[in-house]
A and B are shown apart, each in its own frame.
Chain A
Amino acid sequence: MAQTPEGLTAQAGAELPPLSVTPDKYVPHRYAGASGDFNPIHIDPEFAKAVGLPGNILHGLYSMAQVARAATAGAGGDPRSLKRLSVQFRGMGRPEVEIRVTGSVREAAGKRAIVDVVAEQEGNRIIRNAEAELELQA
């Protein structure tokens, strides 16, 4: 059976090693620069409040990158192991609040595993119904 150093097995029910990260106040700025997405709702708290948000919010694709990171790490860390990732964005991710990514293997065949993943902040699911297809190392 395929098993990674972190212990994710290609077996239904196996738990993805959880990932916790607290994006600091300036993460949305760094992500804006890195990605090219300078939508002011992500980097300007005053603008965000003016359009009815509690403050500037995380980029959804930043949060998806945390799910990708957790899934890849669970497969042993090789970026080639992540074959597919689909997510639904819900709620709003906030800077300076811990993001916790958890998941478990739904089905597995050989070295391939389909993992259900969720990302939440203080119980608020910011990414739900995420599904990662991984190729685990032999």
Chain B
Amino acid sequence: MAIKESLKGRTQAPFEYEVGREKIREYARAVGEENPVHHDPEAARAAGFSNVVAPPMFCVVYSAGAMGPAVLDPELEINLMMMVHGSQQFEWFEPVVAGDTITTTATLKDLYDKNGMQFYVFESESTNQQGKPVVKGTWTNIVRAG
């Protein structure tokens, strides 16, 4: 399948995610983050956060609702069975704490053929309820053959 150059720059509708304290704790337990600032509001406040703070990689949780539709965009016709997650970058700004509302927008930044594979590069930008940036993600998916 040929790549569709014309879809470059395509942006999905923003996705809003309300950050819950128990979700942060659940995520922190799943990845082994034991720092009390991710579990205990008192410890978080003592460290200067207004509530339990999300581990940096929690960004995948609040970004997922924006990334899903971007990757599953029917016009892209990505063969999911042949897709692998090639590389990933995150850049963090304001910390995310329980009670925040995070809005994420995903854009298809680039798509190209290389070595017989198709590369799809998505960019996500997340901001908090004050409009401050919290994370910027670059997601590269590779589709082998197909």
Task: Determine if A88 and B57 form an interchain contact, defined as CB atoms under 8 angstroms apart.
Answer: no
A22 to B33, CA, bound (A): 14
Task: Determine if B37 and A79 form an interchain contact, defined as CB atoms under 8 angstroms apart.
Answer: yes
B143 to chain A, nearest CB (A): 14
Task: Determine if B56 and A89 form an interchain contact, defined as CB atoms under 8 angstroms apart.
Answer: no
Task: Determine if B30 and A33 form an interchain contact, defined as CB atoms under 8 angstroms apart.
Answer: yes
Among A62, A64, A72, A79, chain B packs the most CB atoms within 10 A around the CB of: A79
Instruction: Select B86's contact among A34, A82, A89, beta carbons within 8 Å.
Output: A89
A56 to B54, CA, bound (A): 27
A138 to B32, CA, bound (A): 26
Task: Determine if A80 and B95 form an interchain contact, defined as CB atoms under 8 angstroms apart.
Answer: yes
A36 to B61, CA, bound (A): 7
How many B residues, CB 8 Å from partner? 32
Find chain A residues with CB under 8 A from B37 CB.
Answer: 79
Q: Give the interface size bracket for A toward B.
A: 20 to 34
Q: Is the interface of B mostly helix, strand, loop or mixed?
A: mixed
- Mask, B105-128, CB within 8 Å of A = 1, is 000000000000000000000000
A124 interface residue (CB < 8 Å to B): no
B27 to chain A, nearest CB (A): 4
Q: Which A residue sits closest to B38, measured CB to CB?
A: A79
Task: Determine if B88 and A65 form an interchain contact, defined as CB atoms under 8 angstroms apart.
Answer: no
Task: Determine if B89 and A31 form an interchain contact, defined as CB atoms under 8 angstroms apart.
Answer: no
Task: Determine if A89 and B31 form an interchain contact, defined as CB atoms under 8 angstroms apart.
Answer: no
A77 interface residue (CB < 8 Å to B): yes
B29 interface residue (CB < 8 Å to A): yes
Apart from A60-B85, A65-B57: 12 A-B pairs, beta carbons within 8 A: A33-B26, A51-B81, A62-B31, A69-B31, A72-B55, A79-B54, A83-B92, A86-B88, A87-B88, A88-B86, A88-B87, A89-B86
Show the binding face of B for A, using Cβ within 8 Å. Answer: 23, 26-27, 29-33, 35, 37-38, 47, 53-57, 60-61, 64, 81, 84-92, 95, 138
